[in-house]
A = this chain, B = another copy of it.
Amino acid sequence: MIRHIKIELPAKGRGFHLITNYIMENLKDLPSSGILNLFLQHTSAALTINENADPDVRDDLAAFFDRQCPDGTPYFIHTMEGDDDMPAHVKSSVLGVTLTIPIQNGRMAMGIWQGIYLCEFRDVPQHRKLLATLYY
């Protein structure tokens, strides 16, 4: 059995945002056992899994990636949409847009400290589309 669920994420500004609960609410009933794929349909944002408790982790992650590939990096050619354009593409590839998570006992079988993040790399908040696929 395959089930696709389109999820429109709330528009957020630049930063790392915990979306575990939002995704669970949109998935509603999970199968008892299966696989969940989350696929973000954008090239200037990303998905990752990291610490779900301390919001400082999310700020530190944003700070790290903003330093690793700063806005206005001088050798970039693709700068049409502004200083945050090409760095957003770089970070999207480093972190990735597709996550596969096992479903066991009717829940995402993540560790107790793990949460799902939307990583938003553009300054202007945008609605991001995510396609969830359940395989069971």
List residues of A whose CB falls within 8 A of some B CB: 2, 4, 33-35, 37, 39-43, 48-51, 54, 56-57, 59-61, 63-64, 67-69, 73, 75-78, 80, 86, 89-90, 92-102, 104, 109-111, 113-114, 129, 131, 133, 135-136
Decide if A102 touches B4 in the complex (CB within 8 Å): yes
Q: Which 7 A-B pairs have the closest CB atoms?
A: A41-B111, A56-B78, A56-B77, A102-B133, A48-B93, A43-B51, A60-B76
Contacts A41-B110, A102-B4 given; indicate if A93 touches B35 (C-beta within 8 A): no
Decide if B94 touches A94 in the complex (CB within 8 Å): yes
Decide if B49 touches A64 in the complex (CB within 8 Å): no
Residues of B within 8 A of A42 (CB): 111, 113-114
**Other contacts beyond A2-B136, A49-B96, A94-B94: 6, CB < 8 A:** A2-B34, A4-B102, A35-B135, A41-B109, A60-B78, A98-B100
